[in-house]
Amino acid sequence: MTSVLIVGASLAGIRCATALRRADFDGEITLVGDETHCPYDRPPLSKQFLSGEWEADRLALVQPTEWDELDITFLPGRRAVGLNVATRTVTLDEGEELSAESIVIATGARPRQLPDADGVGGVHVVRTIDDSASLHADLSSGPKKVVVIGAGFIGAEVAATAHGAGHQVTLVEAAAVPMERGLGPVIGKICGDLHRREGVDLRLSTAVAGLHGDSAVDRVELVDGSMLDADVVVVGIGVVPNTEWLADSTLELDPTLGNGVVTNERCEAAPNIYAAGDVACFPNEAFGGERMRIEHWENAVEQGTYVGRRIAGVEADPFAPVPWFWSDQYSYKIQLAGRPLGTDEMQIIDGSVEDDRFATIFGRDGQLTGVFGLNRPRPVMQFRRKIAERCSWDEALEFAAAAAKKPRPSK
């Protein structure tokens, strides 16, 4: 293998390139990115960068001194528009064609937008550094009435950051509690109560009927008839994989998972064509072969690294991760590992809800499926390993009981 073309200057894309070099791959690596920025980290976009605490240079995934070591041909501001699978050739937006012995698809995803929000002033999404900078500029011009639509982790983090900056925040969620599908009604309610206790107006079981205003938004109408005054609106209602450029290729796209790129258990979509990060749909042997598309930071790191090592010939095992992510909101650290469903059995195994420090595990069909922690990172990491070990529900309860009897390590 003498050449690799990575389409997408994302976290997964740059981790793939780094893994190739660390595996002593000495061939040509080309990285194509549709943004003009060098690869950067996204989690701070809804937190430290949005608040103004961090400058843009702290987001860089590759420092200036590291580019020479990586020896990558980086093409910023270029968008892929087509892929010929047979010849492994990518067509770019200006008609240029690039071919390589291996191609990695790491084009990520883009935010869903409200149908009537295009071109309306004061309406934002948070996905890119430019998105976050634009929102920061709106929030920095004085106290605002901010409406955040969607109480998933991005929406919740933006709401927390905006509230911390002194804005009046309303958080709107269509479900009965935030993140009900994955966390269930009990844990979802706890997450929602954190916002209410901080002073955020949380509106549940309602959706947006429309936006009002002339050149800029000034009101948000909800389907329950409520009308919310708004200077700024932030939309956080999920993402769509960037796979339109693959529509005419022969690659399979999974419509049940947002049209992500279907791969085998080794992240290969076709011979010597791989997918990694938010765009990839892969069967995960850690969960009985369930096909999944994971939109978490940790997965982008792990999958991008795996694909790089796979191309370099130093990784033979299937890619079988236990999903894990975290969210910082106000003074709370929220963590979740595994693939729980809101209907799973659950058991608090450490700490207490009243103290805002607890961990709970989830189980389904006699198997441990997930662990959630609020300000309790240690048990989350312990039970993440248990999930990877295919631990049963009974074994998980026994482990939790034994751990509870052990004295706490001294600080």
DSSP 7-40: E--SHHHHHHHHHHHHTT--SEEEEE-SSSSPPB
In the prediction, which pLDDT does 215 show? Answer: 87
Q: What CATH code is assigned to 113-235?
A: 3.50.50.60
CA atoms within 13 A on the CB side of 88: 17
Residues β-bridged to residue 133: none
DSSP 279-339: GEEEEEGGGTTEEE----HHHHHHHHHHHHHHHHT---S------EEEEEETTEEEEEEE-
In the prediction, which pLDDT does 407 show? Answer: 59
Q: Where are the domains of the chain?
A: 3-110+239-312, 113-235, 331-405
In the prediction, which pLDDT does 119 show? Answer: 83
Give CA–CA dist 261/281, Å, rounded. Answer: 6
Q: Is the pLDDT of residue 411 over 50?
A: no
Q: Is the pLDDT of residue 409 over 60?
A: no
In the prediction, which pLDDT does 406 show? Answer: 65
Q: Do domains 3-110+239-312 and 113-235 have the same CATH topology?
A: yes
In the prediction, which pLDDT does 408 show? Answer: 54
In the prediction, which pLDDT does 116 show? Answer: 83
Give CA–CA dist 48/372, Å, rounded. Answer: 24
Going from the C-alpha of 115 to that of each of 112, 358, 377, 409, the distances in angstroms are 9, 39, 39, 53
**Threshold 0.75, pTM exceeds:** yes
What is the average pLDDT across 247-263?
Answer: 96
Q: In sequence order, which residues have a C-beta less than 8 Å from that of residue 107 and are 6 or more positions away?
A: 7, 8, 10, 34, 80, 241, 242, 243, 245, 279
Q: Which two tokens stand for residue 336?
A: 């979740």
- Give the full edge-to-edge strand order of the sheet including 97-99: 80-84, 89-92, 97-99
Q: What CATH code is assigned to 331-405?
A: 3.30.390.30
Give CA–CA dist 141/244, Å, rounded. Answer: 37
Q: In sequence order, which residues have a C-beta less than 8 Å from that of residue 411 and are 6 or more positions away?
A: none
For residue range 347-383, what is the model confidence (pLDDT) as tens digits? 999 999 999 999 999 999 999 999 999 999 999 999 9
Q: Is the pLDDT of residue 25 over 70?
A: yes
Residue 80, H or E segment: strand 80-84
Give CA–CA dist 37/320, Å, rounded. Answer: 31
Calculate what percentage of the chain has a pLDDT beyond 90: 94
For residue range 209-228, what is the model confidence (pLDDT) as tens digits? 999 998 899 999 999 999 99
For residue range 315-358, what is the model confidence (pLDDT) as tens digits? 999 999 999 999 999 999 999 999 999 999 999 999 999 999 99
Mean pLDDT for the chain overall: 95
What is the average pLDDT across 150-168?
Answer: 96
Q: Which CATH number fits domain 3-110+239-312: 3.40.309.10, 1.25.40.10, 3.50.50.60, 3.40.50.2000?
A: 3.50.50.60
Q: Report the amino acid identity of residue 338.
A: G
- The pair phi, psi for residue 241, each rounded to 5°, is -60, 140
* Helical H segments across 85-212, by residue range: 129-139, 153-164, 180-198
Give CA–CA dist 155/148, Å, rounded. Answer: 6
For residue range 81-115, what is the model confidence (pLDDT) as tens digits? 999 999 999 999 999 999 999 999 999 999 999 98
Q: Is the pLDDT of residue 2 over 80?
A: yes
DSSP β-ladder status, 232-235 and 145-149: parallel
Give CA–CA dist 314/394, Å, rounded. Answer: 37
Sign of CA dihedral 12, 14, 15, 21: positive
Q: Name the band, by pLDDT with cuts 50, 70 and 90, for residue 403.
A: confident
